[in-house]
Amino acid sequence: MEENKRYFRVRPSIESSVTGISDGVTNQVEIRLKKQQYSFANVEEKDYLMEYCRCLWEGKMFIGIEDFPIIDVSKLGQIVYYKTKKRVKETDFISNMTDNSFGMLDFIVSEKTKKMLEQFKLHLHSEIQVSIPEFSTTKNYYLLAFPCIPLEQIDYTKSIIIDSFSRERLKFNSFVEYKNREQKFTEISHISLVEKYDFDILKVRAVGLFFSERLINYMKKAKMTGLDYLEQTLEL
């Protein structure tokens, strides 16, 4: 494994020229539960996905990256997603609004993008086949969910945490100190982890997704769309 491997935070793109969405907030696609537009084959499949996400959310303090439960796709048919607005564009990484998923589901990719990601080192994660007929009736799409690294695995003595209002750097020696902090509105601009992971995609609970430099460099050269690269860093 590379020494001092660096990662950068990624998020769904807020550039209207990329996504076709002007407000920078709305997701590109969504599930619908209307009688005429029902995203699931039946209520049982909807309930199963929601319960899976709920279990991830409620157990997140105890589920580490090695304990991540893979979803049982045999209990799901193909989920249908719909464009949130007519002008939405298809990108390589597609943001989604999935009701009652508690933020546990990450992004949707085409089979081509999924195969690209599989060239890199990925931890076991959930892949749910979905369709987006307004983009294509022939392409296969996949909704991906990556395991979360617990906040307990952050090395708080080496991480950079700042007060969201004063911008003053705050110092903590442990997760317990951070959890019981007086300043509740904080930002972690740099994360140092206690554990070493040899994967190109890492997800930190309550923070977000981080991609390795080598994955980001590949994606930039390939001009892949749908993600913004932020200055927030993570280091092993």
* Domain ranges within the chain, ordered by starting residue: 6-152+193-235
Of the CA atoms within 13 Å of residue 207, those in its CB half-sphere come to 28
What is residue 180's predicted lDDT score, i.e. its pLDDT? 95
What is residue 183's predicted lDDT score, i.e. its pLDDT? 87
User: Minimal CA–CA distance to 71: which of 56, 89, 90?
Assistant: 56
What is residue 24's predicted lDDT score, i.e. its pLDDT? 86
In order along the chain (236 residues), what is the average pLDDT of each group of 10 residues? 81 96 94 95 96 85 76 96 97 96 94 97 96 95 95 96 96 96 93 95 95 98 98 96
Q: How far apart are CA 76 and CA 168, in angstroms?
A: 48
Q: How far apart are CA 80 and CA 13, in angstroms?
A: 22
The pTM of the full predicted model, rounded to 2 decimals, is 0.92
Q: Which sign, positive or negative, has the C-alpha torsion 118, 103, 236, 213?
A: positive
What is residue 191's predicted lDDT score, i.e. its pLDDT? 98
Q: Which sign, positive or negative, has the C-alpha torsion 231, 113, 5, 193?
A: positive
What is residue 63's predicted lDDT score, i.e. its pLDDT? 64
For 90-214, where are the E strands, in sequence order?
A: 93-94, 96-97, 107-110, 126-131, 141-145, 160-163, 169-170, 186-192, 201-204, 208-212
